[in-house]
Structure 1
Amino acid sequence: MNDSHQAVPAQWIADTQDIGRLVRAIYECISGPAGAPRDWARFRYLYHPRGLSLRTVVEADGSTRAVVFDVESYIADVEGLFATQSFYEVETDQRIERFGQIAHVWSKYDARPSADSPVLLKRGANSIQLCHEHGRWWVFCTIWDNEREGLSFDLF
């Protein structure tokens, strides 16, 4: 192991060796009580430096648009929400499709004010694209949409 990896926690390295574990690590990074710092260093480690996230936004008139973030702009966008609201995104189902060095994950989730809360804030699905490079998996793109009227949740 070279010197640059010595500062990286073993857990983070292990996260990037298994696709299912990597997806669960993303959820862990963004989940927590209101005002608690999120593990953005770990989040940054999971994503490729050129990785992107895309949020589907539904306008008042029902039209939709995409909001695209790089890693830093995503963090900046959600920090205000996480400062004032408890938010736990919990994976409820996962389907991994892999071909060689690329993988696609469908990951259903519930968002709740605590991991074991009966209160459902929202639920939806993440589409996550990964690539295996330099001995590890990287998240290259995460796209998500939330369940709403007219949008079937029967994904898989």
Structure 2
Amino acid sequence: MPSPDHDEVLATVDTFIAAFVSGPGVVDGAVRLRGVLDPGAVIVRAGDAAPTTYSVDTFVEPRVELLQSGALEDFREWVTGARVDLSGDIAQVWCTYAKEWVADGERQQGNGTKSIQLVRTRDRWRITAVVWEDERPGLRVQEPRPSDPQGQPPGQ
């Protein structure tokens, strides 16, 4: 049976990923997103010639604008697999995700991998760092190996 910390960490990650929606839920999603991110969190997009690094503000603001712009309709993102590793007040989540949207009248879809680091604060788990990479030609998403129910890495 998963530990309460394991479940809380996954709920925090689900809140982060589910915040990316288009339409009327964008502003509420941004509020939820800021609620799970530590104010000093670092977000990095890998996969280009050089990684792109964001602060909370430089990450959230352009996404709110894009998702409100109408350029992407019915955008949503969700976790497809996850491994949680816990050690005291530190958690690491490797997860895969899928996303879909409509752009220029055509349904699009994609998937990728995220590495998410969290710390336990006095009242909850907060995300301190995220690195993600979308699947692309030459890079296939691999499902994370499962952790045990207590959140320990395999073989520990």
TM-score range, shorter-chain basis? 0.7 to 0.9
Aligned-partner Cα distance in 2 for 1:38–1:110: 21
Match of 2:56? 71
Match of 2:44? 54
Question: Is the alpha carbon distance of 1:28 and 1:38 closer, same or farther for their aligned partners in structure 2, counting shifts above 3 Å?
Answer: farther
The answer on whether the counterparts of 1:51 and 1:139 sit within 8 Å (CA) in structure 2 is yes
Match of 1:7? none
1:74-120 Cα shifts (integer Å, max 9, x gaps): 11222332122131011111110111110100111111128xxxx55
Task: Look up the SS of the partner of 2:27 in the other structure.
Answer: coil
The unaligned stretches of length 5 or more in structure 1 are 1-16, 59-63
Aligned counterpart in structure 1 of residue 26 of structure 2, from 37, 61, 84: 37
Percent of matched pairs sharing the same residue: 23
Please report the TM-score for the alignment, with normalisation by the length of structure 1.
0.75
Task: Say what the alpha-carbon RMSD is for the aligned residues.
Answer: 1.9
Aligned-partner Cα distance in 2 for 1:27–1:50: 18
Task: Look up the SS of the partner of 1:151 in the other structure.
Answer: coil
Aligned counterpart in structure 2 of residue 27 of structure 1, from 17, 21, 34: 17
The answer on whether the counterparts of 1:29 and 1:38 sit within 8 Å (CA) in structure 2 is no
The answer on whether the counterparts of 1:57 and 1:67 sit within 8 Å (CA) in structure 2 is no
Aligned-partner Cα distance in 1 for 2:108–2:81: 16
Please report the TM-score for the alignment, with normalisation by the length of structure 2.
0.75
Aligned-partner Cα distance in 2 for 1:149–1:99: 35
Q: Which amino acid aligns with 1:135?
A: D
1:27-46 Cα shifts (integer Å, max 9, x gaps): 2211233x653322221111
How many residue pairs match? The answer is 130
